[in-house]
Amino acid sequence: MVNRIPLIAGNWKMFKTASEAVETAGQLVDLVADTTGVDIMIAPAFTALDPVSKVVADSRVGLGAQNLHWEKQGAYTGEISAQMLTASGCRYVLIGHSERRQYFGETDDTVNRKIRAALDADLLPVLCVGETEGERESGQTFSVLDKQVKIGLQGYVPQDLGSLIIAYEPVWAIGTGKTASREQAQEVHQYIRSLIETTFSPALAGAMRILYGGSVKPGNITDLMDMPDIDGALVGGASLEADSFSQIVKFN
């Protein structure tokens, strides 16, 4: 069996000015300095990437962005390219977060194009998927995920996707304090892994990291990480303070 290194990722959303982000990142770097066996990532706002990259350089903390555009450059007012992100020190990029799907018209098709842009620039894409409360209640969880994964990754071959990370974030659990039970999360993670196995290959499925996101906190991370198909977490609210985020990073 493949040993998947856990990834604990912080999504800072539209919080923190550049100087606030630098301060929190500096505290985090110190708090996690002696951790081993876990990858750590924070995704601050675009305006904070460059200064934060200097703070996390040569530390345990990797830098990510929350979004990107699929073209390399062009007349796309307000957008940011993969090359701009790598030049600002990014190693990871979130793609298709449910808030982008819900408020900014992100679709499985744009997600698909953004994954290509990320891979071409050697960024590690974190593909975010998840069902809404209504979809879960009407028994559509698996069909929604099926569509998000299959269209999001349409046209790719297994060799393309070795660096892809998937984050399962049930929309009803994001920022609500309602975490999926670890059994609910495990069931979906296992489903996603089997989908990768049948669509791509068993080797890719076995090696792929699947993160859970949605109201992850210091108090529930250990239970979640105990499950065989949960390989880390994408953390919103509890990643904004270095202290609580470092406790999540040190889940075991």
Residues that bind ligand PGA (CB under 6 A): 11, 169, 174-175, 213-216, 234-238
The DSSP code for 176 is: S
Q: How far is the CB of 176 from ligand PGA (least distance, A)?
A: 7
Q: How far is the CB of 44 from ligand PGA (least distance, A)?
A: 13
Buried b (16+ CB within 10 A) or exposed e, 112-126: bbbbebbbebebbbb
Q: How far is the CB of 175 from ligand PGA (least distance, A)?
A: 4
Determine which one of 99, 106, 135, 169 is catalytic. 169
- The residue among 29 and 41 lying less far from ligand PGA, judged by its C-beta, is 41
Determine the Cα–Cα distance for residues 181 and 24; give it in Å rounded to an integer.
30
Q: How far is the CB of 118 from ligand PGA (least distance, A)?
A: 17
Residue indicated by tokens 């049930």 = 170
- The residue among 67 and 215 lying less far from ligand PGA, judged by its C-beta, is 215
Q: Return the residue nearest ligand PGA (CB atom).
A: 236
Determine which one of 97, 99, 106, 135 is catalytic. 97
Determine the Cα–Cα distance for residues 164 and 155; give it in Å rounded to an integer.
14
Task: Let me know if 151 is exposed, middle or buried by CB neighbors in 10 A (0-12, 13-18, 19+).
Answer: middle
In this structure, the number of other CB atoms found within 10 A of the CB of residue 130 comes to 27
- The residue among 90 and 174 lying less far from ligand PGA, judged by its C-beta, is 174
**Could you confirm whether 189 is annotated as catalytic?**
no
Q: What are phi and psi of 225, to 5 degrees?
A: -70, -15
- The residue among 81 and 179 lying less far from ligand PGA, judged by its C-beta, is 179
Whether residue 96 contacts residue 70, with contact meaning beta carbons closer than 8 Å, is answered with: no
- The residue among 85 and 238 lying less far from ligand PGA, judged by its C-beta, is 238
**Could you confirm whether 169 is annotated as catalytic?**
yes
Task: Let me know if 9 is exposed, middle or buried by CB neighbors in 10 A (0-12, 13-18, 19+).
Answer: buried
Q: How far is the CB of 234 from ligand PGA (least distance, A)?
A: 4
Q: Among all residues, which ones are annotated catalytic? A: 97, 169
